[in-house]
Amino acid sequence: MSNKEIIKETRIETDSLGDIKVPKDKYWGAQTQRSIENFKIGTDKFPREMIRAFGVLKKSAAMANDKLGLLDNSKLKFIVKASDEVINGDWDDQFPLVIWQTGSGTQTNMNANELIANRANFLKDGKIDSKSIHPNDDINKAQSSNDTFPTAMRIAIVEQVESKLLPSLNNLKLGLQEKQKKFKDIIKVGRTHLMDATPLTVGQEFSAFVYQLDQVEKSLKQVLPFVKELALGGTAVGTGLNTHPDFSQIAIDFINQETKLNFVSGENKFALLASHDAEVELSGVLKKLACALMKLANDIRLLASGPRCGLGELQLPANEPGSSIMPGKVNPTQCEALTMVCAQVIGNDTAISIGGASGNLQLNVFKPMIVFNLLNSIRLLSDSMKSFQSKCINGLDICEDVVEEYLKKSLMLVTSLNPHIGYDKAASIAKLAHKKGLTLRQASIELKFLSGEEFDKIVDPKNMINPKK
Protein backbone atom coordinates (compact mmCIF):
# COMPACT_ATOMS: atom_id res chain seq x y z
CA MET A 1 0.00 0.00 0.00
CA SER A 2 1.45 3.40 -0.99
CA ASN A 3 1.68 6.35 1.41
CA LYS A 4 -1.18 8.05 -0.43
CA GLU A 5 -3.43 5.06 0.24
CA ILE A 6 -2.87 5.02 4.01
CA ILE A 7 -6.13 5.88 5.76
CA LYS A 8 -5.65 7.86 8.95
CA GLU A 9 -7.52 6.77 12.04
CA THR A 10 -10.47 9.00 12.80
CA ARG A 11 -12.90 9.74 15.59
CA ILE A 12 -16.43 11.07 15.39
CA GLU A 13 -17.09 14.69 16.39
CA THR A 14 -20.55 16.22 16.49
CA ASP A 15 -21.94 19.73 15.97
CA SER A 16 -25.38 21.13 15.21
CA LEU A 17 -25.24 19.65 11.70
CA GLY A 18 -24.49 16.13 12.91
CA ASP A 19 -21.53 13.76 12.95
CA ILE A 20 -18.27 14.19 11.05
CA LYS A 21 -15.01 12.26 11.01
CA VAL A 22 -11.96 14.07 12.42
CA PRO A 23 -8.36 12.78 12.40
CA LYS A 24 -7.84 10.97 15.68
CA ASP A 25 -4.50 12.67 16.35
CA LYS A 26 -5.91 16.23 16.07
CA TYR A 27 -7.42 18.33 18.83
CA TRP A 28 -9.78 20.26 16.57
CA GLY A 29 -13.44 19.38 16.28
CA ALA A 30 -16.41 19.23 13.92
CA GLN A 31 -16.63 22.85 12.79
CA THR A 32 -12.92 23.06 12.05
CA GLN A 33 -13.16 19.85 10.00
CA ARG A 34 -16.13 21.18 8.04
CA SER A 35 -14.16 24.31 7.20
CA ILE A 36 -11.22 22.22 5.97
CA GLU A 37 -13.55 20.37 3.64
CA ASN A 38 -15.61 23.36 2.50
CA PHE A 39 -12.90 25.96 1.85
CA LYS A 40 -10.18 24.44 -0.28
CA ILE A 41 -9.07 27.87 -1.43
CA GLY A 42 -5.38 28.66 -1.69
CA THR A 43 -2.70 27.96 0.89
CA ASP A 44 -2.77 31.15 2.99
CA LYS A 45 -3.14 30.26 6.68
CA PHE A 46 -3.47 32.41 9.78
CA PRO A 47 0.00 33.41 11.02
CA ARG A 48 1.46 32.70 14.46
CA GLU A 49 0.59 36.22 15.67
CA MET A 50 -3.13 35.61 15.21
CA ILE A 51 -3.01 32.16 16.81
CA ARG A 52 -1.22 33.61 19.83
CA ALA A 53 -3.83 36.37 20.05
CA PHE A 54 -6.64 33.80 20.21
CA GLY A 55 -4.81 32.03 23.03
CA VAL A 56 -4.54 35.29 24.95
CA LEU A 57 -8.21 36.06 24.32
CA LYS A 58 -9.59 32.64 25.32
CA LYS A 59 -7.44 32.51 28.45
CA SER A 60 -8.55 36.00 29.50
CA ALA A 61 -12.23 35.28 28.78
CA ALA A 62 -12.12 32.12 30.89
CA MET A 63 -10.48 33.95 33.77
CA ALA A 64 -13.09 36.72 33.54
CA ASN A 65 -15.97 34.24 33.55
CA ASP A 66 -14.42 32.46 36.52
CA LYS A 67 -14.04 35.74 38.41
CA LEU A 68 -17.71 36.50 37.72
CA GLY A 69 -18.73 33.05 38.97
CA LEU A 70 -19.98 32.02 35.54
CA LEU A 71 -17.49 29.23 34.84
CA ASP A 72 -17.12 26.02 36.82
CA ASN A 73 -13.90 26.72 38.70
CA SER A 74 -12.79 23.10 38.38
CA LYS A 75 -12.37 23.66 34.63
CA LEU A 76 -10.38 26.89 34.78
CA LYS A 77 -6.85 25.58 35.31
CA PHE A 78 -7.17 23.16 32.40
CA ILE A 79 -8.52 25.86 30.08
CA VAL A 80 -5.74 28.22 31.15
CA LYS A 81 -3.10 25.53 30.63
CA ALA A 82 -4.43 24.69 27.15
CA SER A 83 -4.64 28.40 26.27
CA ASP A 84 -1.06 28.96 27.46
CA GLU A 85 0.07 26.17 25.16
CA VAL A 86 -1.65 27.96 22.26
CA ILE A 87 -0.01 31.23 23.30
CA ASN A 88 3.40 29.54 23.36
CA GLY A 89 2.97 28.03 19.89
CA ASP A 90 2.67 24.39 20.92
CA TRP A 91 -0.30 23.74 18.63
CA ASP A 92 0.25 26.04 15.64
CA ASP A 93 0.02 23.03 13.31
CA GLN A 94 -3.51 22.45 14.55
CA PHE A 95 -4.79 25.72 13.16
CA PRO A 96 -5.16 24.43 9.58
CA LEU A 97 -7.81 26.78 8.21
CA VAL A 98 -7.24 29.08 5.27
CA ILE A 99 -7.87 32.82 5.28
CA TRP A 100 -10.50 32.47 2.57
CA GLN A 101 -13.42 31.29 4.69
CA THR A 102 -16.41 32.96 6.28
CA GLY A 103 -15.86 36.70 6.50
CA SER A 104 -16.50 36.81 10.24
CA GLY A 105 -13.73 34.30 10.97
CA THR A 106 -16.26 32.02 12.70
CA GLN A 107 -14.47 28.81 11.77
CA THR A 108 -11.15 30.05 13.12
CA ASN A 109 -12.81 31.17 16.34
CA MET A 110 -14.30 27.67 16.60
CA ASN A 111 -10.91 26.15 15.73
CA ALA A 112 -9.55 27.89 18.85
CA ASN A 113 -12.59 26.90 20.92
CA GLU A 114 -12.44 23.25 19.86
CA LEU A 115 -8.70 22.88 20.21
CA ILE A 116 -8.60 24.46 23.66
CA ALA A 117 -11.65 22.51 24.85
CA ASN A 118 -10.34 19.16 23.61
CA ARG A 119 -6.83 19.80 24.91
CA ALA A 120 -8.29 20.87 28.26
CA ASN A 121 -10.38 17.67 28.30
CA PHE A 122 -7.25 15.64 27.68
CA LEU A 123 -5.42 17.42 30.50
CA LYS A 124 -8.40 16.95 32.82
CA ASP A 125 -9.69 13.50 31.92
CA GLY A 126 -6.92 11.90 29.87
CA LYS A 127 -8.96 11.79 26.66
CA ILE A 128 -9.90 14.29 23.95
CA ASP A 129 -13.55 13.40 23.64
CA SER A 130 -14.59 13.38 27.30
CA LYS A 131 -16.83 16.41 26.55
CA SER A 132 -16.65 17.68 30.14
CA ILE A 133 -15.34 21.01 28.81
CA HIS A 134 -17.45 22.29 25.92
CA PRO A 135 -16.06 24.48 23.08
CA ASN A 136 -19.17 26.71 22.93
CA ASP A 137 -20.53 26.60 26.46
CA ASP A 138 -17.17 26.97 28.24
CA ILE A 139 -14.44 28.28 25.90
CA ASN A 140 -16.76 30.60 23.93
CA LYS A 141 -18.82 31.63 26.99
CA ALA A 142 -19.99 35.27 26.80
CA GLN A 143 -18.53 35.53 23.29
CA SER A 144 -19.42 35.44 19.61
CA SER A 145 -17.12 35.07 16.64
CA ASN A 146 -18.31 38.54 15.70
CA ASP A 147 -16.60 40.13 18.70
CA THR A 148 -13.80 37.64 19.42
CA PHE A 149 -12.32 37.62 15.93
CA PRO A 150 -11.93 41.43 15.70
CA THR A 151 -10.57 41.40 19.25
CA ALA A 152 -7.94 38.82 18.33
CA MET A 153 -7.18 40.84 15.20
CA ARG A 154 -6.33 43.90 17.22
CA ILE A 155 -4.33 42.03 19.84
CA ALA A 156 -2.17 40.57 17.07
CA ILE A 157 -1.86 43.84 15.16
CA VAL A 158 -0.92 46.01 18.14
CA GLU A 159 1.58 43.44 19.45
CA GLN A 160 3.35 43.40 16.09
CA VAL A 161 3.35 47.18 15.66
CA GLU A 162 4.74 47.68 19.17
CA SER A 163 7.25 44.85 19.21
CA LYS A 164 8.48 44.80 15.60
CA LEU A 165 7.40 47.70 13.41
CA LEU A 166 8.15 50.67 15.65
CA PRO A 167 11.58 49.36 16.75
CA SER A 168 12.59 48.63 13.14
CA LEU A 169 11.39 52.04 12.02
CA ASN A 170 13.21 53.82 14.83
CA ASN A 171 16.46 51.92 14.19
CA LEU A 172 16.39 52.81 10.51
CA LYS A 173 15.71 56.44 11.37
CA LEU A 174 18.66 56.47 13.78
CA GLY A 175 20.90 54.89 11.14
CA LEU A 176 19.98 57.58 8.65
CA GLN A 177 20.56 60.26 11.29
CA GLU A 178 24.09 58.95 11.75
CA LYS A 179 24.73 59.34 8.02
CA GLN A 180 23.15 62.79 8.11
CA LYS A 181 25.67 63.85 10.77
CA LYS A 182 28.60 62.12 9.11
CA PHE A 183 27.97 63.80 5.74
CA LYS A 184 26.72 67.16 7.04
CA ASP A 185 29.60 69.24 5.62
CA ILE A 186 29.87 67.61 2.18
CA ILE A 187 28.35 69.91 -0.45
CA LYS A 188 26.92 68.29 -3.56
CA VAL A 189 24.87 69.20 -6.58
CA GLY A 190 21.14 68.98 -6.07
CA ARG A 191 18.85 67.49 -8.67
CA THR A 192 15.24 68.26 -9.54
CA HIS A 193 13.40 66.55 -12.43
CA LEU A 194 16.57 64.37 -12.51
CA MET A 195 18.38 67.45 -13.84
CA ASP A 196 21.12 69.54 -12.24
CA ALA A 197 19.88 71.96 -9.58
CA THR A 198 21.39 74.19 -6.89
CA PRO A 199 23.72 72.76 -4.24
CA LEU A 200 22.87 71.28 -0.87
CA THR A 201 24.80 69.19 1.62
CA VAL A 202 24.58 65.42 1.71
CA GLY A 203 23.47 65.87 5.32
CA GLN A 204 20.57 68.01 4.16
CA GLU A 205 19.64 65.39 1.59
CA PHE A 206 19.57 62.67 4.27
CA SER A 207 17.65 64.90 6.66
CA ALA A 208 14.67 64.60 4.32
CA PHE A 209 14.66 60.82 4.74
CA VAL A 210 14.88 61.15 8.51
CA TYR A 211 12.01 63.63 8.60
CA GLN A 212 9.77 61.40 6.49
CA LEU A 213 10.30 58.45 8.82
CA ASP A 214 9.80 60.63 11.87
CA GLN A 215 6.42 61.75 10.53
CA VAL A 216 5.39 58.14 9.91
CA GLU A 217 6.42 57.22 13.45
CA LYS A 218 4.21 60.00 14.82
CA SER A 219 1.32 58.86 12.62
CA LEU A 220 1.64 55.29 13.88
CA LYS A 221 1.55 56.42 17.48
CA GLN A 222 -1.49 58.58 16.77
CA VAL A 223 -3.54 55.73 15.25
CA LEU A 224 -2.61 53.04 17.80
CA PRO A 225 -5.10 54.20 20.49
CA PHE A 226 -7.95 53.59 18.04
CA VAL A 227 -6.65 50.08 17.26
CA LYS A 228 -6.48 49.38 20.99
CA GLU A 229 -10.27 49.66 21.32
CA LEU A 230 -11.56 46.09 21.58
CA ALA A 231 -14.92 44.71 20.48
CA LEU A 232 -14.99 41.99 23.14
CA GLY A 233 -18.33 42.02 24.96
CA GLY A 234 -20.35 43.01 21.90
CA THR A 235 -21.18 39.37 21.05
CA ALA A 236 -23.38 38.92 17.96
CA VAL A 237 -24.40 42.45 16.90
CA GLY A 238 -22.94 44.76 19.55
CA THR A 239 -25.63 44.54 22.23
CA GLY A 240 -23.66 42.24 24.52
CA LEU A 241 -26.31 39.50 24.57
CA ASN A 242 -25.34 36.59 26.88
CA THR A 243 -22.61 38.53 28.67
CA HIS A 244 -22.32 39.87 32.19
CA PRO A 245 -22.16 43.70 32.20
CA ASP A 246 -18.66 43.56 33.71
CA PHE A 247 -17.33 40.77 31.47
CA SER A 248 -15.77 42.98 28.81
CA GLN A 249 -13.74 45.14 31.18
CA ILE A 250 -12.60 42.25 33.36
CA ALA A 251 -11.55 40.18 30.35
CA ILE A 252 -9.66 43.12 28.86
CA ASP A 253 -7.90 43.68 32.19
CA PHE A 254 -6.64 40.10 31.93
CA ILE A 255 -5.64 40.69 28.30
CA ASN A 256 -3.60 43.66 29.46
CA GLN A 257 -1.94 41.59 32.16
CA GLU A 258 -0.86 39.16 29.45
CA THR A 259 0.21 41.69 26.80
CA LYS A 260 1.11 44.86 28.77
CA LEU A 261 -0.39 46.90 25.92
CA ASN A 262 -3.21 48.91 27.55
CA PHE A 263 -6.17 47.81 25.46
CA VAL A 264 -9.53 49.38 26.30
CA SER A 265 -13.12 48.29 25.95
CA GLY A 266 -14.53 49.87 22.80
CA GLU A 267 -16.91 52.76 23.37
CA ASN A 268 -19.30 51.61 20.63
CA LYS A 269 -19.31 47.86 20.05
CA PHE A 270 -21.81 48.20 17.19
CA ALA A 271 -19.22 50.14 15.18
CA LEU A 272 -16.38 47.80 16.09
CA LEU A 273 -18.27 44.78 14.74
CA ALA A 274 -19.67 46.47 11.66
CA SER A 275 -16.56 48.38 10.54
CA HIS A 276 -12.78 48.36 10.64
CA ASP A 277 -11.99 52.04 10.28
CA ALA A 278 -8.99 51.92 12.62
CA GLU A 279 -7.49 49.06 10.60
CA VAL A 280 -8.04 51.04 7.40
CA GLU A 281 -6.36 54.07 8.96
CA LEU A 282 -3.43 51.99 10.18
CA SER A 283 -3.07 50.47 6.74
CA GLY A 284 -3.01 53.98 5.32
CA VAL A 285 -0.10 54.84 7.60
CA LEU A 286 1.67 51.67 6.47
CA LYS A 287 1.13 52.81 2.88
CA LYS A 288 2.57 56.19 3.84
CA LEU A 289 5.61 54.38 5.24
CA ALA A 290 5.87 52.28 2.07
CA CYS A 291 5.87 55.43 -0.05
CA ALA A 292 8.60 57.00 2.09
CA LEU A 293 10.71 53.85 1.97
CA MET A 294 10.21 53.52 -1.79
CA LYS A 295 11.58 57.05 -2.21
CA LEU A 296 14.49 56.31 0.11
CA ALA A 297 15.47 53.05 -1.57
CA ASN A 298 15.13 54.46 -5.08
CA ASP A 299 17.22 57.53 -4.22
CA ILE A 300 19.93 55.39 -2.64
CA ARG A 301 20.21 53.07 -5.63
CA LEU A 302 20.11 55.97 -8.09
CA LEU A 303 22.86 57.85 -6.25
CA ALA A 304 24.90 54.63 -6.01
CA SER A 305 24.43 53.68 -9.67
CA GLY A 306 27.58 52.89 -11.58
CA PRO A 307 30.15 52.66 -10.16
CA ARG A 308 31.73 54.24 -13.25
CA CYS A 309 28.89 54.84 -15.68
CA GLY A 310 26.16 56.01 -13.34
CA LEU A 311 25.94 58.75 -10.74
CA GLY A 312 28.32 56.94 -8.41
CA GLU A 313 28.03 59.38 -5.51
CA LEU A 314 27.29 56.68 -2.94
CA GLN A 315 29.05 53.38 -2.43
CA LEU A 316 26.94 50.42 -1.35
CA PRO A 317 28.29 47.58 0.78
CA ALA A 318 29.14 44.50 -1.30
CA ASN A 319 26.94 41.84 0.31
CA GLU A 320 26.94 39.26 -2.47
CA PRO A 321 27.95 38.88 -6.15
CA GLY A 322 25.53 40.78 -8.34
CA SER A 323 25.62 38.71 -11.48
CA SER A 324 25.93 35.11 -12.58
CA ILE A 325 27.68 36.20 -15.78
CA MET A 326 29.35 39.58 -15.11
CA PRO A 327 32.30 39.19 -12.72
CA GLY A 328 32.75 41.83 -10.04
CA LYS A 329 29.26 43.29 -10.36
CA VAL A 330 27.58 44.53 -7.19
CA ASN A 331 23.86 45.29 -7.26
CA PRO A 332 21.60 47.36 -4.97
CA THR A 333 19.85 44.22 -3.74
CA GLN A 334 18.64 45.61 -0.42
CA CYS A 335 17.06 48.54 -2.26
CA GLU A 336 15.36 46.15 -4.64
CA ALA A 337 14.00 43.97 -1.83
CA LEU A 338 12.70 47.00 0.03
CA THR A 339 10.95 48.45 -3.01
CA MET A 340 9.25 45.10 -3.72
CA VAL A 341 7.99 45.08 -0.15
CA CYS A 342 6.67 48.61 -0.60
CA ALA A 343 4.77 47.60 -3.73
CA GLN A 344 3.21 44.67 -1.86
CA VAL A 345 2.20 46.88 1.08
CA ILE A 346 0.53 49.38 -1.25
CA GLY A 347 -1.36 46.48 -2.84
CA ASN A 348 -2.35 45.16 0.59
CA ASP A 349 -3.69 48.59 1.46
CA THR A 350 -5.96 48.53 -1.59
CA ALA A 351 -7.44 45.19 -0.50
CA ILE A 352 -7.83 46.41 3.09
CA SER A 353 -9.54 49.58 1.89
CA ILE A 354 -12.04 47.57 -0.14
CA GLY A 355 -12.60 45.27 2.83
CA GLY A 356 -13.05 48.15 5.23
CA ALA A 357 -15.57 49.81 2.94
CA SER A 358 -17.61 46.63 2.49
CA GLY A 359 -19.31 46.12 5.83
CA ASN A 360 -23.02 45.33 5.67
CA LEU A 361 -25.41 46.38 8.40
CA GLN A 362 -24.21 44.96 11.74
CA LEU A 363 -21.13 43.08 10.55
CA ASN A 364 -18.10 43.56 8.35
CA VAL A 365 -17.40 40.23 6.69
CA PHE A 366 -13.89 40.88 5.36
CA LYS A 367 -12.16 40.35 8.70
CA PRO A 368 -9.81 37.45 7.82
CA MET A 369 -8.55 39.19 4.69
CA ILE A 370 -8.07 42.50 6.50
CA VAL A 371 -6.00 41.05 9.33
CA PHE A 372 -4.03 38.75 7.00
CA ASN A 373 -2.95 41.67 4.84
CA LEU A 374 -2.30 44.00 7.76
CA LEU A 375 -0.09 41.49 9.54
CA ASN A 376 1.63 40.72 6.25
CA SER A 377 2.36 44.42 5.71
CA ILE A 378 3.62 44.89 9.27
CA ARG A 379 5.87 41.84 9.04
CA LEU A 380 7.29 42.73 5.62
CA LEU A 381 7.97 46.35 6.56
CA SER A 382 9.52 45.40 9.90
CA ASP A 383 11.80 42.77 8.40
CA SER A 384 12.80 44.78 5.33
CA MET A 385 13.62 47.93 7.32
CA LYS A 386 15.76 45.87 9.68
CA SER A 387 17.56 44.27 6.74
CA PHE A 388 17.95 47.57 4.89
CA GLN A 389 19.44 49.20 7.96
CA SER A 390 21.93 46.46 8.76
CA LYS A 391 22.87 45.39 5.22
CA CYS A 392 22.74 48.72 3.38
CA ILE A 393 22.64 51.90 5.46
CA ASN A 394 25.20 50.76 8.03
CA GLY A 395 27.82 50.11 5.35
CA LEU A 396 26.86 52.99 3.07
CA ASP A 397 29.66 55.42 2.22
CA ILE A 398 30.15 58.44 0.00
CA CYS A 399 32.51 58.92 -2.95
CA GLU A 400 33.68 62.45 -2.18
CA ASP A 401 35.79 62.87 -5.31
CA VAL A 402 32.77 62.10 -7.52
CA VAL A 403 30.55 64.47 -5.53
CA GLU A 404 33.13 67.23 -5.78
CA GLU A 405 33.62 66.76 -9.53
CA TYR A 406 29.89 66.97 -10.22
CA LEU A 407 29.65 70.11 -8.13
CA LYS A 408 32.43 71.80 -10.06
CA LYS A 409 30.75 70.99 -13.39
CA SER A 410 27.25 72.05 -12.38
CA LEU A 411 25.76 74.86 -14.44
CA MET A 412 23.16 75.58 -11.80
CA LEU A 413 25.68 77.35 -9.61
CA VAL A 414 24.78 80.25 -11.87
CA THR A 415 21.61 80.64 -9.83
CA SER A 416 23.59 82.55 -7.20
CA LEU A 417 24.13 85.30 -9.80
CA ASN A 418 20.40 86.09 -10.09
CA PRO A 419 20.33 88.79 -7.37
CA HIS A 420 23.40 90.46 -8.90
CA ILE A 421 22.91 90.43 -12.67
CA GLY A 422 19.32 89.14 -13.11
CA TYR A 423 17.78 85.91 -14.31
CA ASP A 424 18.15 86.60 -18.05
CA LYS A 425 21.88 87.37 -17.96
CA ALA A 426 22.51 84.41 -15.66
CA ALA A 427 20.64 82.16 -18.11
CA SER A 428 22.80 83.48 -20.95
CA ILE A 429 25.93 82.53 -19.01
CA ALA A 430 24.66 78.99 -18.42
CA LYS A 431 23.66 78.52 -22.06
CA LEU A 432 26.99 79.76 -23.38
CA ALA A 433 28.94 77.62 -20.93
CA HIS A 434 26.97 74.54 -21.96
CA LYS A 435 27.22 75.29 -25.69
CA LYS A 436 30.97 75.93 -25.76
CA GLY A 437 32.01 73.63 -22.93
CA LEU A 438 33.21 76.55 -20.83
CA THR A 439 33.15 77.01 -17.10
CA LEU A 440 30.58 79.46 -15.74
CA ARG A 441 33.43 81.78 -14.84
CA GLN A 442 34.79 81.74 -18.38
CA ALA A 443 31.34 82.34 -19.86
CA SER A 444 30.72 85.29 -17.50
CA ILE A 445 33.96 86.93 -18.55
CA GLU A 446 33.36 86.28 -22.29
CA LEU A 447 29.91 87.89 -22.07
CA LYS A 448 31.45 90.75 -20.06
CA PHE A 449 28.81 90.47 -17.36
CA LEU A 450 31.33 89.98 -14.55
CA SER A 451 35.07 90.02 -14.00
CA GLY A 452 36.76 86.89 -12.74
CA GLU A 453 37.20 88.45 -9.32
CA GLU A 454 33.54 89.44 -9.12
CA PHE A 455 32.45 85.93 -10.17
CA ASP A 456 34.67 84.26 -7.56
CA LYS A 457 33.29 86.47 -4.84
CA ILE A 458 29.67 85.67 -5.66
CA VAL A 459 29.68 82.05 -6.84
CA ASP A 460 30.69 79.93 -3.85
CA PRO A 461 28.74 76.72 -3.14
CA LYS A 462 29.24 77.24 0.60
CA ASN A 463 27.09 80.36 0.36
CA MET A 464 24.30 78.57 -1.51
CA ILE A 465 23.15 75.98 1.02
CA ASN A 466 21.26 78.32 3.37
CA PRO A 467 19.21 81.50 3.14
CA LYS A 468 21.29 84.70 3.21
CA LYS A 469 20.33 88.18 4.39
What single string gives the DSSP state of each residue in 217-270?
A: HHHHHHHHHHHTEE-TT-TTTSS-TTS-TTHHHHHHHHHHHHH-S--EE-S-HH
Whether the Cβ atoms of residue 78 and residue 124 lie closer than 8 Å to each other:
yes
Confidence category of residue 340, pLDDT binned at 50, 70, 90: very high
Query: Is-catalytic flag, 323?
Result: yes
Q: What is the mean pLDDT of residues 18-32?
A: 94
Pairing verdict, β 264-265 and 314-315 = unpaired
Segment 300-310 mean pLDDT:
95
pLDDT value, residue 138: 98
Per-residue pLDDT, 129:
83
Angle at 436 between CA 431 and CA 438, to 5 degrees: 85
Whether 193 is catalytic is: yes
Asked if residue 210 lies in contact with residue 183, where contact means CB atoms within 8 angstroms, the answer is: no
Burial of 1 (0-12, 13-18, 19+ CB in 10 A): exposed
List the domain boundaries for the chain: 3-141, 147-188+202-398, 410-463
The answer to whether 228 and 158 have CB atoms below 8 angstroms apart is yes
Q: How far apart are CA 138 and CA 140, in angstroms?
A: 6
Residue of 323, 410, 420, 451 marked catalytic? 323
Mean pLDDT of all residues in 399-403: 97
Residue 394: which H helix or E strand, with range? none
Q: In terms of pLDDT, which residue wins out, 176 or 130?
A: 176
- First vs last Cα of the chain: how many Å apart? 91
- Band (pLDDT 50/70/90 cuts) for residue 7 is low
The one catalytic residue in 60, 130, 163, 193 is: 193
- Taking CA atoms, 395 is separated from 176, 205, 213, 278, 317, in Å, by 11, 18, 20, 38, 5
Tell how far CA 132 is from the center of its chain: 42
* Topology adopted by domain 410-463: Ribonucleotide Reductase Protein R1; domain 1 (1.10.40)
Alpha carbons 11 and 193: distance in angstroms, whole number: 69
Residue 5 binned pLDDT confidence (cut-offs 50, 70, 90) = very low
pTM, entire model: 0.94
Indicate whether 393 pLDDT > 90.
Answer: yes
Give domain 147-188+202-398's CATH superfamily: Fumarase/aspartase (Central domain) (1.20.200.10)
Asked if pLDDT for residue 426 goes beyond 70, the answer is yes
Which pLDDT value is given to residue 468?
A: 78
Q: What fold characterizes domain 3-141? A: Fumarase C; Chain B, domain 1 (1.10.275)
What integer is the mean pLDDT of 30-56?
A: 97
pLDDT tens by residue, 86-105: 999 999 999 999 999 999 99
Distances (CA, A) of 274 to 15, 145, 243, 299: 27, 13, 19, 42
DSSP assignment string, 299-354: HHHHHT--SSSS---EE----S---SSSTT----HHHHHHHHHHHHHHHHHHHHHH
pLDDT digits 0-9 by tens, 178-223: 999 999 999 999 999 999 999 999 999 999 999 999 999 999 999 9
Give yes or no for residue 1 having a pLDDT over 70: no
* Mean pLDDT score, 393-420: 95
- Helix (H) or strand (E) holding 42, with range, is none
In the predicted structure, residue 467 carries a pLDDT above the cut 80 = yes
What is the rounded average pLDDT of the residues 388-398?
Answer: 97
Query: Quick one: pLDDT at residue 328?
Result: 86
Reported confidence tier of residue 327, pLDDT bands at 50, 70, 90: confident
Alpha carbons 186 and 179: distance in angstroms, whole number? 11
Q: In whole numbers, what is the pLDDT of the chain averaged over residues?
A: 95
Per-residue pLDDT tens for 224-233? 999 999 999 9
Contacts with 301 (C-beta within 8 Å, 6 or more apart), sequence order: 316, 332, 335, 336
